[in-house]
Amino acid sequence: MAAVVAIITSMVVANAAQTFATPNSAFISYSLATGADSAAITPVTNKSVLVMGSCTTFPDEGVGQVSLLHIPSTVIVWTGLESPSPSAITSGATGITASHIVFIDLTHHVDIQVASTDTILIHNGSTGTRAGNVTLVW
């Protein structure tokens, strides 16, 4: 058997400048009656924001998340993953009120929606009260 020999003749190493910062976050708990909306939530502007939501009401528990960008007075842009049943990629860019962003419950009745070009909200479209939380990290 012949031995395989690899010879490295040159290697380039690049050093990237890194800044580590403690992230900022906002935590919102909700308990919404059928058809109710939370108060408007204003994401930080011109920075990527991780939006993670959950429904903790049995038997509708679930989670969903998106990366979101809020361009002031213009648009909210997002891409992420819907809560299971079935799980799917969600994405969009709009400032139109009531536009779906991401489902955060198992049966796809509780979602985060666009409230305006500058805000989002949690909407309960189920037939009962639903509770949970939403966390924004930037």
Given CATH 1.10.357, say whether it is the number of domain 25-137: no
- The pair of structure tokens assigned to 40 is 């408007």
Q: What is the mean pLDDT of residues 19-28?
A: 86
pLDDT for the residue numbered 46: 97
Peptide bond preceding 59: is omega within 30 degrees of 0, i.e. cis?
yes
Nearest to 64 by CA among 137, 138, 133: 133
Q: Which residues make beta-bridge pairs with 111?
A: 103, 123
Whether 137 has a pLDDT exceeding 60, the answer reads yes
Q: Are residues 90 and 81 in contact, defined by beta-carbon separation less than 8 angstroms?
A: yes
Structural domain spans, the chain: 25-137
From the number of C-beta atoms within 10 Å of its C-beta (0-12, 13-18, 19+), residue 77 rates as middle
Cα distance between residue 113 and residue 38, in whole Å: 10
List, for residues 38-88, the tens digit of each pLDDT value.
999 999 999 999 999 999 999 999 999 999 999 999 999 999 999 998 899
- pLDDT grade for 16, boundaries at 50, 70 and 90: low
